Structure 1
Amino acid sequence: MSADKSAPAKLKARQPRGFVDRGPADVAATERMLAVIRESFSLYGFDPVETPFVEYTDALGKFLPDQDRPNEGVFSFQDDDEQWLSLRYDLTAPLARYVAENYDALPKPYRSYRAGYVFRNEKPGPGRFRQFMQFDADIVGSGTVAGDAEICMLAADTMEKLGIKRGDYVVKVNNRKVLDGVMEAIGLGGEENAGRRLTVLRAIDKLDKFGPEGVRLLLGEGRKDESGDFTKGAGLSEDDADMVLSLAALQSGEVTELQEVGGGKFVETNKGVLGGMRTHFGNNETAAAGISELEQIAKLVEAAGYDRGRIRIDPSVVRGLEYYTGPVYEVELTFPVTNEDGQVVRFGSVAGGGRYDGLVGRFRPEPVPATGFSIGVSRLYSALKAVKSPIVDQKNELPLVVVTAMDNKSPEFMPAYQAFVAQLRQAKDEHGRALCRADLYLGSSGFNAQMKYADRRGAVCAIIQGSSEREAGTVVIKDLILGAELAAAGRDVKDSAEHKERQAQAQFSVPVAELVEEVKRVLARHR
């Protein structure tokens, strides 16, 4: 029989570029990671708030391009009343709108945290996605740099609570006022130069990735990458590019000062690099104001016990968004990893933020100072896997027990199987926590397929009751982990007494009344 040519073609299942699916292991590990971050932020007095995925485009911030169809960098669409709406680009601009809208009802300063997906309409690539999760903490209504110091200390504490050791991370701090002072010195001050200024800032931000020569190209006419794509530069002269690079090159490791902490031990302080910044750029009024704020932050964090190994003044930090107005910071992981080209490199940044005193004030008659930072959840998750943090270890997940349905073609037997999973779901361990997850097989396949199902689910054990067990008032417990180990054992051990004893442990029959206690024993074996 010939195929029916009139039948419609099947849709092709395909994932949009720049978006990813996540399986159960990744989802569970991410949830554990988010729980630790929430706890850390809560200890600092931050409260949760949630904003929608969609905002009016003009509320998202002046850094968005002003076009007839404003979709460069964001996903936008028009509502039925012809208002432009956009998927949120970050979590900070929506917070600014929320605070302005609820200003009189909120305590000030207002501490809040938020977690959620954000969307970037950008060219996707390796490690670069159009949808990703962020976790933010912000203080709105505090104009003192003590708020910035607090955010930096929170960032450091959170990294350690997640299992990243001291020495494997650093919170790097700079000030946009210093950068603005340099911009003024090279003739890029004022609103009319906002576009070129942002290009310069984003070029400096690529210092770790492209090195000084690559950044010099981006400050000049532009840079062509290995694929042939050309990025237009800021068009600076050689002298102006030299001035910008001299700030970026003033790394905090070049000039240090030691402070005695007792017992003959010394730690490096931030005074050395601050002195270097004053020497090179302190003659500009704007830059000098920024340096003074950095000096205050350094004093505050050092007084709280955070040395330069944890929070470091670093003039190479810029942050790429236009709305930052003061201190900016970045959390960098310093341990080595192998990149896609097989090169050993530092892991790099997983979080960043800064002061944005003008963002909330766009909606209010009075100025509203604010500061905060954002964790890139997906990137941080990759880092935790790299350092083998127990937070992302699958072993921390509750074990799964599968109850098979031997007589799944006979509805009258299903209530007994359902009773087994109910008992297991209600069972507690010795600490009063849930014992396990329990899954009743709900398909129509036979026994062998059900066992493959349990294996594929990663179950620790399976519960079996056929007609003979039902008549005897028993169930069979099959230890799937031990069974797999025995199946992999060599032939020379299969007749040994130890092997036979383990076989008896791998599959055994117990009275129905002892189901929970015996499952506890099996789970304890593999804990």
Structure 2
Amino acid sequence: MAKKNKVQRPKARKPRGFPDRSGAELVTERLMLERIAGVYRSYGFAELQTPAFEYTDALGKFLPDVDRPNAGVFSLQDDDEQWLSLRYDLTAPLARYVAENMDALPRPYRRYAVGTVWRNEKPGPGRFREFTQIDADACFAPAPHADAEIIMMFIDALKAAGVEDSDVEIRLSSRRVMTGLLDVIGVDPEDQATAGTVLRAMDKYDRLGADGVALLLGEGRKDDSGDYTEGAKLEARQIDQVLRFMEGSDMADAFAGNQAGTEGAEELQKIVSTLTELGYGNRVKLDPSVIRGLDYYTGPVFEAALTFDVENEKGQVVQFGSVGSGGRYDGLIARFKGQDVPSVGCSVGVSRLLTALASKAAFEEADGPVVILALEEAEMPRYHRMAQALRGEGVAAEVYLGGAGMKAQMRYADKRGASLVVIVGEDERKAGQVTIKDLRAGKEASQNIDSREQWTEERPGQETVGEGNFVEAVTTRLA
């Protein structure tokens, strides 16, 4: 007898760093994004959608890693043998769009964008290759007033999303200030190796403190795991200057007449003064440890940090940290047109912010639909009419279609996140009634019930109403 060939079936698996997402998580995210977008629109920003793919050369030198087609981005060649790459942020496509439509756009040009971005990087805990961003940018908008407005709008957006005023701090610094500091201590800002090592060391000030940063500015540092990080090899005098700058309250004192540093510090003070006058000053802090994308930004840079305590994966109590950032990038559009276009923007870390709101219970989890149990097959048209009546009042509703018994239907409603189920069995139908079961209220009440008899008598979270009144009863409970 001939042996049957084994059927080769693909293994059901998803690529690393590309999460599956469904149900309440997506509904909650969309609600949060709409609240943020509503703030952006209230400031006069209009939405722009750009394609997922851009020509790779349009992304330019600002790739996350080195500038070859598959480093940091996902790329392919089209039928013209030109390289295309999935966008890794929403700002590079904006720069291309502005350059392409420069003469037709209003000045300033104010846009916001919501979309998926992709990073060809090693995935890890909380680090994905595909995620959502929501950005707002103003082009042809010079400093410092456009910067102050973006920061003010950023704070308002976080508040609309559910962040308490007392829980957010905007930490503000400047690329020009950092350039001035490097000049003062005798490091060439164009020396990518040394200047980059100095700035990366400064970026670790919050985590390592002055002693740890001093080691990284000097010969190097060995961490707790035994890994050794090579230092910037600065002299003691230079290290002392950097640390005094990091610890000082007045940035201008650090520059001793250096033009770039002095102008950068003055620009920051103007931003802070404007925000203070408008009632936002108590949420803004000058912080020289904010070192962000210094090949990208040309002026003020900032990040939004949430200051409440959470427990990390090691069980340690730490501050939650950054949920978004932004800054000024006057040179990005110049790649296409050869002239600087003063621009500033902000970007919210959507996944980080959702995690923060969940940890503070600041954003309610979206309810699933009201589930109408299907207990009699002959009554299916009745059940569907009931669902239609609820939808007519703006209530999401569905009829159970799985063909199982009542217990299984109730388990299904629970898995769907339904707060209410509607029950019309034979007894209810004959009496012209509808039973509404509030699953969440029932769970809460059941904690205080001691016996089956008490449960049967009280039926917590449950009411029976006339069939003609069931829509009003459902909407009242949901409200």
When the two structures are superposed, what TM-score results if normalisation uses the length of structure 1?
0.80
Give the residue type in structure 1 aligned to 2:175.
Answer: R
Cα distance in 2 for residues equivalent to 1:71 and 1:388: 40
Q: Which runs of 5+ in 1 are unaligned?
A: 251-272, 428-433
Matches within 5 A, 1:89-488: 89-185=88-184, 188-189=187-188, 191=190, 193-194=191-192, 196-219=194-217, 236=234, 239-250=237-248, 273=249, 276-307=250-281, 309-389=282-362, 392-394=363-365, 397=366, 400-408=369-377, 413-427=379-393, 434=394, 436-466=395-425, 474-481=433-440, 484=443
The alpha-carbon deviation at position 53 of structure 1 amounts to 2.2
The alpha-carbon deviation at position 371 of structure 1 amounts to 0.9
Q: 1:249, 1:316 within 8 Å by CA — same for their partners in 2? A: no
Cα distance in 2 for residues equivalent to 1:311 and 1:483: 45
Give the residue type in structure 2 aligned to 1:121.
Answer: N
What secondary structure does 1:363 align onto?
helix
Q: Deviations over 1:243-290 (max 9, x none)?
A: 44443343xxxxxxxxxxxxxxxxxxxxxx3xx322221322221221
Cα distance in 2 for residues equivalent to 1:95 and 1:139: 10
Moved more, 346-355 or 474-483: 474-483
The alpha-carbon deviation at position 329 of structure 1 amounts to 1.3
What secondary structure does 2:114 align onto?
strand
The alpha-carbon deviation at position 458 of structure 1 amounts to 2.8
Aligned to 1:256: none
Q: 1:247, 1:316 within 8 Å by CA — same for their partners in 2? A: no
Identity %: 48
- Does the alignment pair 1:6 with 2:2? no
Cα distance in 1 for residues equivalent to 2:7 and 2:175: 62
Q: Deviations over 1:310-350 (max 9, x none)?
A: 12222222213411111111212222222222222222121
Moved more, 138-147 or 115-124: 115-124
Q: Which runs of 5+ in 2 are unaligned?
A: none
Q: Deviations over 1:427-446 (max 9, x none)?
A: 2xxxxxx3x32111122323
Cα distance in 2 for residues equivalent to 1:292 and 1:504: 64
Q: CA RMSD in A?
A: 3.1
Moved more, 478-487 or 76-85: 478-487
Aligned to 1:506: 462
Per the alignment, do residues 345 and 487 of structure 1 end up closer, same or farther by CA in structure 2, a change over 3 Å counting? closer
Cα distance in 1 for residues equivalent to 2:293 and 2:235: 21
What secondary structure does 1:150 align onto?
helix
When the two structures are superposed, what TM-score results if normalisation uses the length of structure 2?
0.87
What secondary structure does 1:80 align onto?
coil
What secondary structure does 1:60 align onto?
helix
Per the alignment, do residues 483 and 312 of structure 1 end up closer, same or farther by CA in structure 2, a change over 3 Å counting? closer
Cα distance in 2 for residues equivalent to 1:138 and 1:129: 24
The alpha-carbon deviation at position 190 of structure 1 amounts to 6.2
Q: 2:114, 2:133 within 8 Å by CA — same for their partners in 1? A: yes
Q: 1:170, 1:311 within 8 Å by CA — same for their partners in 2? A: yes
Q: 2:446, 2:460 within 8 Å by CA — same for their partners in 1? A: no
Per the alignment, do residues 24 and 143 of structure 1 end up closer, same or farther by CA in structure 2, a change over 3 Å counting? same
Moved more, 216-225 or 343-352: 216-225
Q: 2:176, 2:298 within 8 Å by CA — same for their partners in 1? A: yes
Moved more, 205-214 or 55-64: 205-214
The alpha-carbon deviation at position 175 of structure 1 amounts to 1.6
